[in-house]
Every structure is written in C-alpha cells, then in structure tokens.
Amino acid sequence: MTALLSVEGISAGYGAITVLRDLTLHVGRNESIGLFGPNGHGKTTLLRTISGLLRASAGRIHFDGADISRQRPATIVNAGLVHSPQANTMFGDMAIAETLELAAFAPRARAGAKQRMEQVLTLFPRLAERRKQLARTLSGGERQMLSIGCALMCDPRLLMLDEPTLGLSPRLKEELAEAVGAIARSGVPLIVVEQDVEFLLALTQRLYMIEHGAVSREIDRNDGLDHGQVMQLYFGQGGEA
Amino acid sequence: MNSIVATLVSGILLGSLYALMASGLSVVWTTLGVFNFAHGALMMIGAYAAWTVSEGMGLGLLPGILAGVATAALCGIVIEYLLIRPFYGTRHMLLVTVMTTLAALIILEKGAQLIWGAKLKQLPRLVTGDVSIFGATISWHEAIIILLAPIVLLLLWRFTAMTNRGRSLRAVGQNQDAAALIGIDVPYAFAIAFGLAAALAGLTGALLGSIRFITPVMGSEPLVKAMIVVIFGGLGSLGATAGAAYVIGLLEAFLILWIGLYWTPFALFLLMIAVLIFRPNGLFGRA
Amino acid sequence: MTSSLRRFAPLLALALLLVVPFLATDSYTRHLFIIAFIYAIVAANWNLSLGYCGVFNFGHLTFFGVGVYTAAIAAKTFGITPWLAIPLGGITAAGAAFLIAAPVARLKGIYVVLVTFAVSQLAMQLVLSQSQITGGGEGMVRIPFLQLGDYSFIRDFKFGYYYVALGLLVLSTLFLRFVVQSPFGKALLAVRDAQDYSTARGISVSRQRILVLVLSAIFTGIAGGFYAIYLRVASPEVFGFGTMSLVLSMVLLGGVGTLYGPIAAALALTFLTEALAGIQGFEEARFIVVAVVMVLILRLAPGGLVSLLDRLRPSRPAS
Amino acid sequence: MSEPILKTSRVSKSFGGLKAIRDVSFEVAPGEIFGIAGPNGSGKSTLFNIITGIPFGPNAGEVWFKGKRIDGQPAFKIARMGLSRTFQKDAEFPDLSARETLAVSAVFCGGLDRRQAAERSEEAFALVAFAPHRRDMASAGLSVFEKKQLMIASALVSKPDILMLDEPASGLTKPEIQALDTLLRNVNAAGVTILLIEHVLTLLMSVSQRLLILNQGQQLAEGEPRAVMRQPDVIEAYLGKRTQ
Amino acid sequence: DVVKIGVLAPVTGKQAADGEDMVRGAKLAVEDLNKAGGVNGDTFEVVVGDIGDASADAVATAAERLLGDKAVGAIVTGYASTTNFEIEMMAEQEMVYLIAGNSAQTAGIISPNPENFGTVWSLTPSYDGYNTEIVPAIDKLVADGQLKLPNKKVAMIASDNPYSKGIAEGMTKAFEAAGWQITQNDLLPFGEINDWRAFLAKVHQDPPALLINTDYVSANAATFMTQFMENPTNSLVFIQYAPSVPEFLTLTKEKSSGVVYNLLGGVLPREASPRADELLKKYEAAYGNEPGSYGIMLYEEVMIYADALKTVGDPAKRAEIGAAIGKTDKVTAVGRVMFDPKTHLSVQDNDHVPIQFYQILDGKRIMFYPPQYKTGDFKQPSWMK
Ligand SMILES: Nc1ncnc2c1ncn2[C@@H]1O[C@H](COP(=O)(O)OP(=O)(O)OP(=O)(O)O)[C@@H](O)[C@H]1O
Ligand SMILES: Nc1ncnc2c1ncn2[C@@H]1O[C@H](COP(=O)(O)OP(=O)(O)OP(=O)(O)O)[C@@H](O)[C@H]1O
Ligand SMILES: [Mg+2]
Ligand SMILES: [Mg+2]
C-alpha cells in the first residue's frame, strides 16, 4: 500500500534563504507522525510547503497518489489535506461563528458542515459561548481553539497541526489530545509539530527530528524503543533533559 | 416647509449618490485593505464606455450602462492583477498601493483624455421628465437613483456578510494564509473583490453621466466624497458606509440651506474632524 | 569599501550639485534644480512623519502652504525682509502642525488620512475666504525678492537662488539626519511598528506623533517660504491634490523611511517629467509614462530607489 | 509580609457584557516571583493590561505600586515608574537592532543619557545571555528565542522594580525553557520582582514562590504553589485529571 | 530662420478643453504664416508649454522652459496662471507675451509701472464693461418694449474666483446705483457645483426679475440652467461667459433657450464680422469643430506678433517688437484692436473691442447689442409671463 503522503527530496525557502534542503518523509494511511526539533529549523516551513503556501524549489509531494507539489492551497485543502498553522491569528474582524461557517468553504467540506460545527463547539465550549466575539479580541488560548476548530471544519483526510497546544492550559491540552486522538482513530492521520513531548507521544507512532531543514533522525516507536529511550532521544537535541 | 422637503429630497439624493460612490471603495477597503485611489477614475471609465456604446454607436442607454459596468469591471481586474497583487503582504503595502492606485488614476485619466478628448460629454437620462415629491421637483432619473441605491447596497451587504463567497473576500483581506488554508482561492477572491468594486464604480459612473458631465476628471470629486464617507462611517462594514453616506448627504443639504453653499464644505470638514476626535473609529465604527 | 561608498555618496552628490551652476548657465536648468530641491525638502520631511513614524499625514502640503503664505504676507504686507520671511514660514508651519497634531495623535492609521486631508481643505478654504489678507483666489503676486546688498537675485539667471535652495536642502538633510539617528528617531520606528510595546517601554505614542508632526513641518514651512519668495507668488493651488500626489510619489519612490531616497526621487521625477514635457503632442502620454515608470520601480525595488543602491552590494549571508 | 510593592484592590474590567476581571485583589511582595495561572480566557492577560494601562486601565478598583496609586495614569508613565511588561504575542521593533531597542528603552523608560544607556544595555544583554554577534542586526531576523530574550532584556534595561512576563515559555523547546528558568532566577536574584503568567507548568512550578489562580475573571486560589495546585477546584478548572 | 512661438496653455488637467483650443489656434496661424512664406524670410513653429493644473511651479516651469529656448520669439496664451504672475517673468526677460486672460489682474500688475512691461500686451480689454454695461443694456430692452420685467429685483450668485467674484461685485454696485434691489448675493466655492437647487429654492422665495450667475465654468452653468428649468421663476437669466462655450449648447439643448450672456473681447458673431467668419471657417475646416474663443484669439495674437515682427525685422529685438505691438491698430475677429499704453489692455468701446450681449434662442446665439453688430432681436424667454 502506498503512503498517504510522501515528501521526496524537497527544498524550499523564502527568497534567497533556503530553509528545507532535500527533505524526505512519508505518512502511511493508518499512522500519525510527529515532527520535532529545535526552533527555526524548518518544521513550519515544511508544513507550509506541503499545504502549498510555499512552492518547493525541488522535489515532489504526493498526496493519496496525486502529485500536489504544484497545486494551489485551495486545491490541496479540497483534496482533504488540511493544515492548522502555528500561532494563527485568523480573521481579526470576523466573529467566531462566521469564521467557523466560512471554514467549511472547500466544496468537499460543505456536506456535513453543520455536524462538524457541533463537534467543534462541543470540543471547545468556549467558542460556543462567544459566537459573536471578534477574533482579534480573543485570548491567546481561545484563538488557538478557533484556529484548530477551523481546520476541523475543513473535513480533513490528513490533518497537519503546527504547535496546537501553544498557550493552552494543561486541562485543555489534555482534552485536545483526547479529541485529536479520537479523530486520528476515526481514520484521519495526523502530522503534529509540538514542543510538548507528552502531547506528541500520546498521539503519534513515528517521529521525525528536523534539524537544519532536513530529517536528522527517524524514530519508529514500534521498533521496540521504550518511552524513556524516546525521551532521551528527544532531549538529546539540546543537551540536558 | 416647502424648502425643508426640498432639502430632504436633495439630501437623500446626495446620500444615495454617495452611497453608490462609496460602496465599491468600501468593498475594496474592507476586504483587501487597499485604499483605491483609482475608484473615481473607474467611475469615469464606466461613464465613457456607456457614452461610447449609447451615443457613439447609438445602441441605446441600457446597453450603454451594461457596457460601462463591464468595462469598469475589466479595468478593475486588470488594475488588481498588475498594480495591487504584486504588493500584497509587503511591508508598506498600504502606502505602496496608495501610490500604485494613484498611478492607475493617472493612467486612466490621461488615457481617457487621449481617447475621448477633453470636451464635455453627457448621457441621456434613463427616463425623461421630472417628478414632484411633496412639492420638491427632481428628475425621474434622480428618483430612480434614490430607489436604486438602497437595493444595490442591500444586495451587496447580503453578499458580503451572509454568503460564504462574500465572507471569503473579507477573509483574504485579513489573513491570506489562513484563508488559503481553509480552501479559499486567494488570487481569485482578490480578483472578484476588485472586479465587483469596479463594476459598482462603473454603474455609478454611468448613472452620474446623465446628471453630471463626463470628463476625464469627473471622478475626482466623487472619490473625495467616497473617501470621506467610507472613513467617516468607520471602516468596519458596509452598513456603516451606507449610514455615513446618508448622514453626510442630508447634513450637506441642510448645511447648504442654513449656511449656504460657500461655507458648507468648511462646516462639513470641521464637523467631521470633531466627530473623529470624539469617535476615533468613525461614526458607526466599532471600538 | 562599499560601506564607505555609502557614507561618502551623499558628500559626493553634494559636491556635484555645488558645481552644477557653473556647468548649466541657463536659467531653465537651474530653475528645475531649484524646484527639485524645494520638493526634495518637502518630500524628505514628509517622510519623517509618514515613513519613520507611520503617521498617514495627508495634510503635509498644508505646512508647505502655511509657509508660502506666511512668507508672502510677511514680505509683501509687512515689508519684512525676505531673508527673514523665509524662516518665518518654518515657525508658523510648526505652529500649524502643533494645532493639527493634537487631534491626530489620538487617531489610528487611515483615520489620520481623513482628518489631515480635511484640515488641508480647511486651510485652503481659510485662505480663499480671507481674501483681504491672502488675496483669496487671486492670490498674491509681486512678492519682494531676495537681495544681498546691491546684488539682486533676479536677473542673474537664478545663480543666487540655486545656492540658497541647495543650502536649505543641506540644512534640512542635516537636521533630518540628526533627528533620525537620535534615540528619539529610533523611537519613531518603534512607535510605527509596535505601539503597545513602545508604550510598555516608556514611550508616549501621542507625544512622539505630535513632535514628529511639528518637526516635519519646520523645514517644510521654510521650503514654502522660499517657494513664495522665489516664484514671487502665493496662490491656493499649493494646497491642491496635484502637488500632494506628486510629492507623495517622491516619498514612496525614494523609499519609505530613508533619508536620501526622497531627495533622489525628487530630482529624478522632476527631470524625467521635464524631459518628457519637451516632446510635442506627448502632453498626456508623458504622465502615463511617468506613472508606469513609478509602478515598475515600486515592483522592482519595493524599498524605493535607495534600495537599488543596496542591491549593488553582495546580499547578506542567510542566518 | 513586608510592605507590598504592587497591590490591586477589587479591580474589574468588562468588555460589553463580558466581565473579564471581577474584583481581583492581590498583593506582591518585593523580591518575590509571583506566578499567575488559570484556564484560557480567565483574564490573566487582561489583568496585566489593566495594571500597566496598556492598552486600557481597569473599569473599577485601584492599583497601587510602590505606595502610589497608578490606575488612571498614562501607560507610558507607569512604565517609567518601574513596571516593565512583555506581551503574550511576541512584540518587536522589526527595524531596530537589539542594541537600538535597548537604547531606546533605556533612554525613554530609564531616563538615561546615551552613554549610560549603552553601558546599561551591556548589562542587560549579559543578564539574558544574548549572543553578542546578533546584537546589531535588525530584530526582524532574530529567532523566536532571541526575540524573547530581547523582549526581556529591553524590559530590564530600565532597571524596573517589577518585571511582568506573559507566557514567556510558549513555543520554546525544553532546553530553551531550561535556559529561561535560569534567566528568571538570575534576574530575580538581581533584585527584580517578577510576575509570571505561564501555562508551561515545569517553569511555573519551578520558579514561582507564590501562585494566583484565576478562573472566569475571579480569584480561584492563592498561596504556595504546590498547595494551590492540589486544590480540587484548581484541578477541575485548570489542570484536568491527568496532569496531577 | 525658424522663429518659435511659445504657447502657454493648460493642455492637460481640468481646463484641457481650453488648452486644446489655444494650441490649435496658434498652430493654425503659424501654418497660415508659413504658407505665405513667413515674415521677412523667417518661418514659424509652435512650441507648447503645458501648465497642467496651473499651480505656480507648473506655470513657472513651463514658462522657464519656453523662456530658456533662445529660438522662442514670442509667447502667446489665453490664460496661464490664475494670478497672471508669469507676466513678471516675461517682462524680466523682455519676452513678447500676449495674453487674453483676466484683465483685472493684468492691469493690476502692469499699471503701476507700464514702462517695465514693454513686451506684455493683453488682448482682453478692461473688465469694467462687465460691471457697468449690463444695466443700460437691460434698460434699453425694457425701453424698446422687448422685455417686460415684473419688478426691479435682482438675485446674484458668484463663484469664489477673481473673475466671477469681481464681476459680481461690480454688477452689484451698478444695479444698486440704478435703484435695483439685490435680493440674493451668494458666493460659491470655486470648483465643480452639482447642485444649485438650494440656491434656486431661495430664489423662489422672492422671485426677482433678473437672475445672474457669474460662475463661468460651462459645466456648472449648464447644470444651473437645467435645474433652473425644472421649476423656473419669472426671471430673466443672465449667465456670465459660459453660454459662449460651444459645449454649453450641446449640454443644455432646448433648456437654455432664452438665456442671456455677454462677452468682452470675445469673437464677434460671424454674421457681423467677416474676419470672424473667415477664421471660424478656417478653424472648422482644419479641426472639424467650432472653437471656443481661445482658438480664434490665439490666432489673432500670433498675427499681431507677426505684424510687429514685420515692421521691426529682427526677431531678437524683442523690446522693439513689444513697442511695435503697442502701436497696433488692427481689425480682428474681436473688433478693432488698439492698446492702452497705461494698462497695456486693448481699448474697449463699441468702435474697438466691444462688449457683446447675446441671447440663446432655439440653439442659436443672437447678438442683440451693440446695435452696429446686432444679428437679431431679443425675445422674452418662453418661461417668463
Ligand atoms: N517569511 C520568512 N522569510 C524569511 N525567512 C523565514 C520566514 N519564515 C521563516 N523564516 C526562516 O526560516 C527558518 C525556518 O523557520 P520555521 O518557522 O520553518 O522553523 P520551525 O522549525 O517551525 O521553528 P519554530 O519551532 O520556532 O516554529 C528560520 O530560520 C526562519 O528565520
Ligand atoms: N477587547 C476585548 N473585547 C472583548 N472581549 C475581550 C477583549 N479582550 C479580552 N477579551 C476576553 O476576555 C477574556 C479574558 O482574556 P485574557 O486575554 O485576559 O485571557 P487569558 O487569561 O490571558 O487567556 P490565555 O491564557 O488564553 O491567554 C477572554 O475570554 C477574552 O475573550
Ligand atoms: Mg514553527
Ligand atoms: Mg493571555
């Protein structure tokens, strides 16, 4: 069986600055993967390249067998590859309810939008309380909820979350992990970028460490590594644990 | 009494015109965050195109108006593509697009003078004859504008606030990346927003072409008015723009009655400064 | 090497400008330089509020107009020597800026555009309506000209005026340099880019904005005063939209938030438009050409003309 | 407890119908590290806002700093009195270098002349361990962690009495959080009182000497961190089941 | 050699229609001169200085460019700046400058020291006639029984520019002196006026026998006339200058039938002046439309210069040419031109450059005063009882 997403030898960057260098990874149909590594080494850039916001200068990206490396973001979203960006501020002058409705914009997301809205509002009751509040007046954590909610509204087949727990309270982190875990179990694989190890380990089967714009290590947790060893590797990046 | 009615009517007429002039500007501003200085010039293009089809080719006024709307929309899309799109997301985007739209204004105005010459032109009216409203006389054409303006505004409001397609235009203006990531085709949305605004400008221009004169610079006064209306109302929404248009129209008419034409602009500007000092987000703006 | 070139480029340019009158002896070329210098001063000072502090002041030409009328009235009505009337324009312009600044300091972004624009319209109305003082729409003509002892500045093919204008430009540039390199100037950039953060660092946003408007008005008003004395006329068109968009294009083409950009752009634009103006039957088309050139520059060099100079240097290594 | 350096008494802030902060009173002693936590949207950042007046003060209640009442004062004056804060959403002056950022802050907030400002900047850089070769580039090009370091250094350069940090650890890697931990201890050791909003519990629990928990704009608990975190209502509202 | 004739004109900007006329008029004259072999062997060429929006620096720059060109022998214009300040620049450099602009400004600059302005001459006569002549003209109509007026009231509206305002003030004095009552005396900001209804509403409250609008902008005047006709009062309508512009007729069509205007230094009607007829035909043949006054006036300015050049000979002797122009005595399309040495304006009276009163009737311009040029009779406008 082919991978759901395969990234083969891509390079990408901003103007003259190259961030990703010949990076390769893949996501199977029934697994979730995690990306970690030091700040500023290209995790976000990788997700942006996959979702079409950045154009790769070399390499190929296939999603469900189709080459998406030259597609527009809108097409990619409509194929079910959804990216919830890091520290997203959303649409400052739009109210919560409006934003969530709009998020079901892609044709594939329209059917069942009502139902998914229910799900999102159950996951984040705060959003239900504040339907009319403008996005720019939300607290940091509330904004994060809205951003993830929007991604869920897109009816993803593969969900990419970039630091989803940024600024969330411990309790909410836990609830989010549960909810996202449920989504993954329902057959939507995840790509998660996270600094919070617990969160990452709770959700993913395989981890890639990204350093200097390339995969520096792959950790398959089914390979018999125990939790402690993974932690060791994870913190190996910077030195102390 | 009679003069009060006359003033009311002429205030509402002014308000309707201002609403039409400002709505397109407001659409571009609230969606794309671009202050389009070529908006008045697009009205002028609409008027000239309407004139060419209606008078030049003798095809009649309605086809002329359609041609005006279409031509302006086309110009708008071209302007967006060449002069606005390359600058989205750049550091000084607001200022740079001020400049590029000013450049568009110059190109359209001078181009129009090259094509149509400097002599004044005028379109016939939609309907001839005058109508008396409670003793105040205006032309039927103007009466139609009074009726048309709210309809156009309502449709526009429904579109931008109630439909997802309309919301998507606002979304791209506020956060392009986030918009793209929920599946909005950003370049397409930009083109739609600008084309729609330009079409509105074209319609306004074609309607103005019957009650004012068509010249290459006919758009400059409406542009200033539209700018005042849009900012004065508060930049948040179309509703605010519409409200401000009628407030300013009525205010202007009554100021003319009370203090005369000469001091009216003076008083209007002074009043606006005062309002903005006390309501820094515009008359109907949200804090 | 390249950075020393950057440091000495302005001096080199100044040296060149100093010898121009000996190379161009006709009054037309000198006149163009003088006009370009005046606009360069206005544009560079506008850039202080617009580019450095992010105040969308669309009434900057009001300060210029105030300078024009101050010098005109001082020299013609009150018989004050033009040498004094010119700097007087700077004082009144700064005063006018202070009046405008109070309401503007509270407003944000695009709202500033409307208020400052409205103020400039008010100023024009005021000039028009006070015709016994300002001459109204008729304006004022035959304003006294500069004299130095027996040397009269007219009928010398604008030799003297050239150096006065250049001198003002140099003074204005030194002044702006001093301002932007001071902590006050750095704080302007701070206020422009992050208001709340600036406040948290003890910077009063409104005080910065008021001060920047006043400072930007000083040399603008002086340039206005010189304009009135040089052309010997004061008329309400100085408040018009045309002059404003011309100067604005100089600011943006030269480079927002740069010191020498607007000056370079003022010279470039003045001579480009004039070069095209000489072509018969090209009167409309020349504006189109200039507009297209403007857009091209903005596209190719988003940082303005001066950023083209930077391009010549090897690009910074990626971090 | 000695005379409090910062005190709020029944401060409130509402947005339309929403009461974001309700009658919150607390005191901070000089020299302590005072942690603030609570669920998302419980009003932590709003509390910082109304104390510093950026961008708004409280609707009701009083804020006292060093024995002076400061609510209603212009925000920049409050900052100059010695109350420095950072922001949850990282802020920077993109066109200024790190050095210039500190210089501006020292001149405006600390009232120093240029030479003193330069000296003080060196101290602040050293305190936050800001890499020397990165001090002259435009801030826009700095990394996430460097921006945080810079934001803290610029808050410190004016020698404030209180440093208020809003979620400084968010988005940082473990080693960086470790570095931040050390940094805060050093700053505190230099005599600066710290108010810390944080969701990253390792940092919060490690450095805080006292903890205030907010919930729906109200004080839920206050006291010794470990004790507070054991309270059932805190667990219910903030920590969730597993984290204990 | 080639002598260049500079034309200072608003070729772009709001007044571009006038500018186009000016340039065409001058070009036509130059072509005619060249066809006739030039003057003393010199041929001519037109160079244009565009003054754009008429800001002082735009005018000064355009003037400097023309002045700086050694081959320019004379500069002609309809009008350039609103202040006519460029006259000083011309005099300083002894440039031959013929102007047809606001003569009040011209006289204001020249009359204190006419000897300093030896090369500057104005085809436009003194505007005094605009102020005073309307009263006797109306009186004559009433006396002749051609006009019946309901009362002796007059309502005035003027635009805030030197021309309109000056004339309105002058007329007000003249009417008051003749015992008329001024019911309205409004001033408008200068610029585009789209709504005259507020003023007209005030006029309705006390209908005058005479309604005078001195806003000379033809678009404004056309709007004024259209809106007046929506609900006319029993008043004779007089509009300054604007109805003489060809566009005014095309824009107002039947709505302007009955309106009265006058002209000083304007082109005489073709029926009354063979010279005007000849030039108009020539212009129409060349450009396919009827010119406004400036097309013909610039033609005449060039010809006046050419005559002076012929007597002096050398185009470089500009002071002498200026003096020669001052001695002009020539029958032109605007009347017999002679210049007043005190003001350098052309002399105004019925035997020189006359004031012309017209009425528009059914799309035609009828000149009914002064008698020697008259092309038809005044008729009571249809809306008046
Ligand atoms: N718009 C941009 N222009 C130029 N460089 C950029 C831009 N965005 C990111 N970079 C640079 O690209 C590099 C990789 O950034 P990226 O955001 O992908 O890292 P990351 O691994 O996601 O880090 P973090 O954990 O901090 O989110 C960084 O050095 C950053 O400075
Ligand atoms: N300007 C505003 N208008 C309306 N509501 C606001 C405004 N600012 C904040 N709020 C609301 O007030 C509440 C408190 O916000 P605050 O930012 O203080 O939360 P917080 O405790 O800092 O949360 P987080 O941990 O998520 O950052 C939130 O529910 C927020 O939505
Ligand atoms: Mg990232
Ligand atoms: Mg917060």
Q: Residues D225, D188: one domain?
A: yes
A102 Cα–ligand 2 center, Å: 23
Q: Tell me if D34 sits within 8 A of D195, measured CB to CB.
A: yes
Chain C contact present for B147, CB below 8 A:
no
Q: Residues D28, D139: one domain?
A: no
Q: What pLDDT, on the 0 to 100 scale, is given for residue D244?
A: 45
Q: What pLDDT, on the 0 to 100 scale, is given for residue B236?
A: 65
A with D: touching (≥3 Cβ pairs within 8 Å): yes
On whether residue C75 sits in a domain, the answer given is yes
**Ordered DSSP codes for chain B:** -HHHHHHHHHHHHHHHHHHHHHHHHHHHHHHH----TTHHHHHHHHHHHHHIIIIIS---HHHHHHHHHHHHHHHHHHHIIIIIGGGTT-TTHHHHHHHHHHHHHHHHHHHHHHHH-SS-B-PPPSS-SEEEETTEEEEHHHHHHHHHHHHHHHHHHIIIIISHHHHHHHHHHH-HHHHHHTT--HHHHHHHHHHHHHHHHHHHHHHHHHHS-B-TTTTHHHHHHHHHHHHHH-TT-HHHHHHHHHHHHHHHHHHHHHHHHHHHHHHHHHHHHHHHHH-TT-SS---
Q: What pLDDT, on the 0 to 100 scale, is given for residue B95?
A: 81
3-state helix, strand, coil in chain A (%, to 5): 40, 25, 35
A59 Cα–ligand 2 center, Å: 43
On whether residue B266 sits in a domain, the answer given is yes
A84 Cα–ligand 3 center, Å: 11
Q: Residues D184, D243: one domain?
A: yes
**Which helix H or strand E contains D17, and what residues bound it?**
none
Q: Residues D1, D59: one domain?
A: yes
Q: Using a CB-CB distance cutoff of 8 angstroms, which residues of chain C are in contact with residue A16?
A: 315, 318
Q: Tens-digit pLDDT profile for chain C (319 aa)?
A: 456 667 788 888 999 999 988 988 888 999 999 999 999 999 999 999 998 998 989 899 999 999 999 999 999 999 999 999 999 999 999 999 999 998 888 887 778 887 888 888 888 888 888 878 888 777 888 889 998 888 888 777 889 999 999 999 999 999 999 999 999 999 999 999 899 999 999 999 999 999 999 999 999 999 999 999 999 999 888 888 778 888 988 988 888 888 999 999 999 999 988 888 877 777 778 888 888 988 888 888 777 777 666 555 443 333 3
Q: Residues D233, D205: one domain?
A: yes
Task: Give me the amino acid identity at C37.
Answer: F
Task: Give me the amino acid identity at C281.
Answer: G
**Which helix H or strand E contains A15, and what residues bound it?**
none
Q: Residues D72, D107: one domain?
A: no
Contact D174 A195 (CB under 8 A): yes
Contact B266 C253 (CB under 8 A): no
**What ligand has the least distance to the C-alpha of D46?**
2
Cα A222 to the center of its chain, rounded Å: 22
Structural domain range at position C27 = 3-312
Strand E72-77 to E2-9 pairing:
parallel
Residue range B168-184: mean pLDDT, rounded: 90
On whether residue B178 sits in a domain, the answer given is yes
Chain C contact present for A11, CB below 8 A:
no
Q: What pLDDT, on the 0 to 100 scale, is given for residue C264?
A: 93
Q: Hey, how many other C-beta atoms are within 10 angstroms of the C-beta on C78? A: 9
State yes or no: pLDDT of A83 exceeds 90.
yes
Q: Which mutation among A10, A35, A44, A216 tests ligand 1's pocket best, with the greatest number of atoms within 8 A of CB?
A: A44
pLDDT bin (cut points 50, 70, 90) of residue A234 is low
Q: What pLDDT, on the 0 to 100 scale, is given for residue E197?
A: 81
Nearest-angstrom CA–CA distance, A153 and A118? 10
Cis upstream peptide for E136 (omega within 30°) = no
- Give Cα separations from D179 to D91, D129, D155 (angstroms): 20, 9, 18
Any idea where the domains of chain A sit in the sequence? 3-235
Q: What pLDDT, on the 0 to 100 scale, is given for residue A228?
A: 66
On whether residue B128 sits in a domain, the answer given is yes
- Measured between CA atoms, the residue of chain C closest to residue A17 is C318
Q: Tell me if B127 sits within 8 A of B140, measured CB to CB.
A: yes
**Cα–Cα–Cα angle for D196, D198, D200, nearest 5°?**
140
Chain D residues within 8 angstroms (CB to CB) of chain C: 52-55, 74-76, 79-80, 84-87, 91-96, 100-101, 103-105, 107-110, 114, 117, 137, 141, 154-155, 158
Q: What pLDDT, on the 0 to 100 scale, is given for residue E305?
A: 96
**Cα–Cα–Cα angle for A195, A198, A201, nearest 5°?**
95
Q: Residues D105, D225: one domain?
A: no
**Ordered DSSP codes for E145-197:** TS---S-SEEEEEEESSHHHHHHHHHHHHHHHHTT-EEEEEEEE-SS-----H
D105 Cα–ligand 4 center, Å: 24
pLDDT bin (cut points 50, 70, 90) of residue B173 is confident
Task: Give me the amino acid identity at C207.
Answer: R
Nearest-angstrom CA–CA distance, C111 and C101? 13
Q: Tell me if C81 sits within 8 A of C134, measured CB to CB.
A: no
Q: Residues D149, D29: one domain?
A: no
- Measured between CA atoms, the residue of chain D closest to residue C191 is D93
Residue range B201-206: mean pLDDT, rounded: 95
Contact C113 B114 (CB under 8 A): no
Nearest-angstrom CA–CA distance, E170 and E166? 6
- Maximum distance among all Cα pairs of chain B, rounded to whole angstroms: 59
Chain A contact present for B177, CB below 8 A:
yes
Structural domain range at position D113 = 92-159
Tokens describing residue E31: 């072509």
pLDDT bin (cut points 50, 70, 90) of residue A238 is very low
Chain A contact present for B180, CB below 8 A:
yes
Q: What pLDDT, on the 0 to 100 scale, is given for residue E317?
A: 94
On whether residue C317 sits in a domain, the answer given is no
Where is the domain boundary, D137, D159, D181? D159
Q: Residues D149, D176: one domain?
A: no
Contact B139 E251 (CB under 8 A): no
The Cα of B230 is separated from the nearest Cα of chain C by a number of Å equal to 10
D207: CATH: 3.40.50.300
Q: What pLDDT, on the 0 to 100 scale, is given for residue B258?
A: 85
Q: Using a CB-CB distance cutoff of 8 angstroms, which residues of chain B are in contact with residue A51?
A: 180-181
Chain A contact present for B171, CB below 8 A:
yes
Cα D28 to the center of its chain, rounded Å: 13
Chain D contact present for A167, CB below 8 A:
yes
Q: Which mutation among D137, D144, D176 tests ligand 1's pocket best, with the greatest number of atoms within 8 A of CB?
A: D144
Q: Which of B90, B98, B282 is closest, CB to CB, to C111?
A: B282
Average pLDDT of chain E, as a whole number: 91
E with B: touching (≥3 Cβ pairs within 8 Å): yes
Nearest-angstrom CA–CA distance, A96 and C137? 55
A88 Cα–ligand 1 center, Å: 15
- Measured between CA atoms, the residue of chain A closest to residue C318 is A17
- Maximum distance among all Cα pairs of chain C, rounded to whole angstroms: 65
How many CA atoms lie within 13 Å of E283's alpha carbon, on the beta-carbon side? 29
Chain D contact present for A241, CB below 8 A:
yes
Nearest-angstrom CA–CA distance, B217 and E97? 30
The Cα of B276 is separated from the nearest Cα of chain E by a number of Å equal to 24
Residues B112-145: b if buried by 16+ CB within 10 A, e if exposed: bbeebebbbbbbebbeeeeeeeeebbbbebbbbb
Q: Using a CB-CB distance cutoff of 8 angstroms, which residues of chain E are in contact with residue B260?
A: 186-187, 198
Q: Hey, how many other C-beta atoms are within 10 angstroms of the C-beta on B61? A: 20
Q: Is D8 helix (H, G, I), strand (E, B) or coil?
A: strand
Strand D60-65 to D68-69 pairing:
antiparallel
Structural domain range at position B72 = 2-278
Chain B contact present for E255, CB below 8 A:
no
Chain C contact present for E190, CB below 8 A:
yes
Q: Give the bridge partners for E210, in sequence order.
A: E154, E236
Q: Which of B113, B120, B137 is closest, CB to CB, to E231?
A: B137
Q: Is D72 helix (H, G, I), strand (E, B) or coil?
A: coil
Residue range B213-229: mean pLDDT, rounded: 87
**What is A3-235's CATH number, 3.60.20.30, 3.30.460.10, 3.40.50.300, 3.20.20.140?**
3.40.50.300
Nearest-angstrom CA–CA distance, D25 and B255? 53
Contact E247 B119 (CB under 8 A): yes
Length of chain D, in residues: 244
Q: Which of D109, D117, D137 is closest, CB to CB, to C201?
A: D109
Q: How many domains are there within chain C? A: 1
Q: What pLDDT, on the 0 to 100 scale, is given for residue A96?
A: 94
Q: What pLDDT, on the 0 to 100 scale, is given for residue E176?
A: 94
DSSP category for residue E236: E
Residue ranges of chain D with per-residue pLDDT less than 50? 243-244
Chain C contact present for E64, CB below 8 A:
yes
Tokens describing residue E257: 């039938």
Cα E143 to the center of its chain, rounded Å: 29
Which residues have CB atoms below 5 A from the ion given as ligand 4? A 139-140; D 45, 88
Q: Which of A101, A134, A154 is closest, CB to CB, to B164?
A: A101
pLDDT bin (cut points 50, 70, 90) of residue E169 is very high
Q: What pLDDT, on the 0 to 100 scale, is given for residue C313?
A: 45
Nearest-angstrom CA–CA distance, E249 and E365? 9
Q: Residues D207, D230: one domain?
A: yes
Residue range B109-116: mean pLDDT, rounded: 91
N- to C-terminal Cα distance for chain A?
38
Q: Residues D147, D168: one domain?
A: no
CB pairs under 8 A between A and C: 4
Q: Residues D110, D231: one domain?
A: no
The Cα of B266 is separated from the nearest Cα of chain C by a number of Å equal to 6
* Least confident stretch, B53-62, B150-159, C126-135, E144-153: C126-135
Chain E contact present for B106, CB below 8 A:
no
Chain B contact present for E16, CB below 8 A:
yes
Nearest-angstrom CA–CA distance, E74 and E324? 13
pLDDT bin (cut points 50, 70, 90) of residue B99 is confident
DSSP category for residue C239: G
Q: pTM to 2 decimals?
A: 0.89
Task: Give me the amino acid identity at E59.
Answer: V
On whether residue B287 sits in a domain, the answer given is no
Q: Which of C28, C129, C155 is closest, CB to CB, to E92?
A: C155
Q: How many domains are there within chain B? A: 1
B11: CATH: 1.10.3470
Nearest-angstrom CA–CA distance, C207 and D118? 24
pLDDT bin (cut points 50, 70, 90) of residue E303 is very high
On whether residue B283 sits in a domain, the answer given is no
Q: Which of A142, A195, A197 is closest, CB to CB, to D172?
A: A195
Ligand 2, CB cutoff 6 Å, lining residues: A 133, 137-142, 167; D 15, 18, 20, 38, 40-46, 88
Q: Is D208 helix (H, G, I), strand (E, B) or coil?
A: coil
Task: Give me the amino acid identity at D202.
Answer: T
Strand C151-152 to C147-148 pairing:
antiparallel
Q: Using a CB-CB distance cutoff of 8 angstroms, which residues of chain A are in contact with residue D144?
A: 39-40
Q: What pLDDT, on the 0 to 100 scale, is given for residue D134?
A: 92
* Least confident stretch, A77-91, C222-236, C277-291, E329-343: C277-291
- Measured between CA atoms, the residue of chain B closest to residue E227 is B138
Q: What pLDDT, on the 0 to 100 scale, is given for residue C314?
A: 41
Please tell me if the CB atom of residue A42 comes closer than 6 angstroms to any atom of ligand 1.
Answer: yes
Q: Using a CB-CB distance cutoff of 8 angstroms, which residues of chain A are in contact with residue B240?
A: none
Q: What pLDDT, on the 0 to 100 scale, is given for residue A224?
A: 61
- Residue-wise pLDDT tens digits, E113-143: 999 999 999 999 999 999 989 999 999 999 9
Task: Give me the amino acid identity at A10.
Answer: I
- Residue-wise pLDDT tens digits, E268-277: 988 889 999 9
State yes or no: pLDDT of B73 exceeds 90.
yes
Strand D193-197 to D162-166 pairing:
parallel
Q: Tell me if E236 sits within 8 A of E213, measured CB to CB.
A: no
Q: What is the ipTM of this complex?
A: 0.88
C207: CATH: 1.10.3470
Q: How many domains are there within chain D? A: 2
Q: Which of C27, C141, C278 is closest, CB to CB, to E64?
A: C27
E with C: touching (≥3 Cβ pairs within 8 Å): yes
